[in-house]
Every structure is written in C-alpha cells, then in structure tokens.
Amino acid sequence: MRTGLALALVFLGAVVSPASRAQQRASGVTAPAEVSRVDQLETLLTELVERLEVLAARIRQLEDTQYRLIETVNELGVGTGQESARSTATTETNTSAAPAREIETVAPPQVDGESLEADYRAALLLQAEGKFNPAMVLFETVYESDPDGDLADNALFWLGEIRFAMKDYQSAIKMFERLTVDYPDGDRAPDALLRVGFSYSALGDLLMARGVFERVIERYPYSTAAENARSQLEKTRY
C-alpha cells in the first residue's frame, strides 16, 4: 500500500510540478481549469489508494472465509465417517437397518470482489467527468451486490454526493442519513452527517442545519467533520 501511495504521489508531482506552481504565483495568473483538473486528480488518486487497501483487506477476508469453509467440510466429513461406522455396526446385527443419510453441504453465494472494485473505479471516473447518471447506476450496483462489503458505505456516500451536486438536496439527505444509520462506525459516517447539514443549509433550513452540525460535533468530536461543523455553526445564523 505504501508503494502504491508513493507512486500516486510521484504521478501527482509530475502532473503539477513545483516550478509550474511557482511560475503561476510569480505571474499572479491562475488557470482555473488546471486547478480544477489537479483537484480531480488528487481526489481520484486518494480514492484509488484507499481502494487498493480495501481490496487487500477483502482478499484477506475471502481467504479467512475459504479456510473456515474447508474446516467445515472436514468436520462434516468426519461426522459422515462416524455415521457410516455406526451404520455398519448396526447392519451386522440387524440386516434391516437403514443406510446412513448423506449430509449435503451448500456453499454460500460468492461475491465477485474484483468485479465490484472495477465497477467502483469506473463510477468514480464517470463522476469526475460529470456523467452522473451512469455513475449512479454503477454505485448502486456496488452497494446492492454486497451491502455488507467494504465498498458499501463508500458507494452510498458518492450516491449522496452526486445528488447534492445535482441540487437534489432532499434525495441527498436521505442517502447520507441512510449511511449514518446503516454504517454509524464507518469511515464515511462523519462526513455523511456533515453533508446532511450542508444539504439543509442549501435548502434554506438553517435551524435544521445547525442541529445537524451539533450532532456531528457530539457524535464524532475528534473528526475533521466536527471541525468543519464548528466552523459552519459560526457562519450559520437564523
């Protein structure tokens, strides 16, 4: 993961060199399009590094699951052998004894983690390009395919962000609140609750916005979201 982060930082440094930044400051001219593009690249690189970490954790989880399944199959095999032994002993004394029943094992449904990861990355790129509708379809696919997976809360967060960007603030509130309820201890929960406050503020409901900002501070007092909430409380008056 550290190697991936280092490569990402090297790539970012190549895109925006210190010399280029220095020339812009010296000339007093800033290219808004370039700055916006750099911000998008920074966001995408950060997200991709995070997803690499998530994928590694997912692989470990799948390995643990596979190990548990092997143990279960072995235990069932031992049980079947014991049952067969008892059946044989009974047959020797009573030829009318019924044969031992076979134990059927049903494997749990498998989630294609690599496919979901690819869908998630594709959705991020579509969102960065402003293609919100296809991005939402992919984010919804990621969430619905594995709601207990590591990408689920991230997918919900970006679904809320897209609705916020589309100025559909009511839908954004529902999506962000759903995240905070279903994944209260997730990494995205503090920022999602903060975005609920921003959504109410955008709707002009400053009373509700202040209440949400206070909840952020109370629930996640040491988070970056709490710092932003304190700043918003100072700015928000009703």
Instruction: Please determine, for residue 45, whether its predicted confidence score (pLDDT) is greater than 50.
Output: yes
Q: Which of 173, 217, 163, 177 is nearest to 199 (CA)?
A: 173
For the stretch 162-174, pLDDT in tens is 999 999 999 999 9
| DSSP string across 82-122 | HHHHHHHHHHHH-TTPPPPPPPP--PPPPP-HHHHHHHHHH
**How far apart are alpha carbons 123 and 137 in whole angstroms?**
8
Torsion of CA 90, 92, 98, 103, to 10 degrees: 70
For tokens 């590694």, what's the residue? 56
Q: Give the mean model confidence (pLDDT) for residues 58-82.
A: 58
CATH superfamily entry for domain 112-238: Tetratricopeptide repeat domain (1.25.40.10)
Q: How far is CA 77 from CA 63, 84, 88, 133, in A?
A: 21, 11, 17, 50
Question: What pLDDT does residue 114 have?
Answer: 84
Token pair of 7, please? 């490569």
| DSSP string across 32-75 | HHHHHHHHHHHHHHHHHHHHHHHHHHHHHHHHHHHHHHHHHHHH
Instruction: Indicate the DSSP class of residue 157.
Output: H
For the stretch 172-229, pLDDT in tens is 999 999 999 999 999 999 999 999 999 999 999 999 999 999 999 999 999 999 999 9
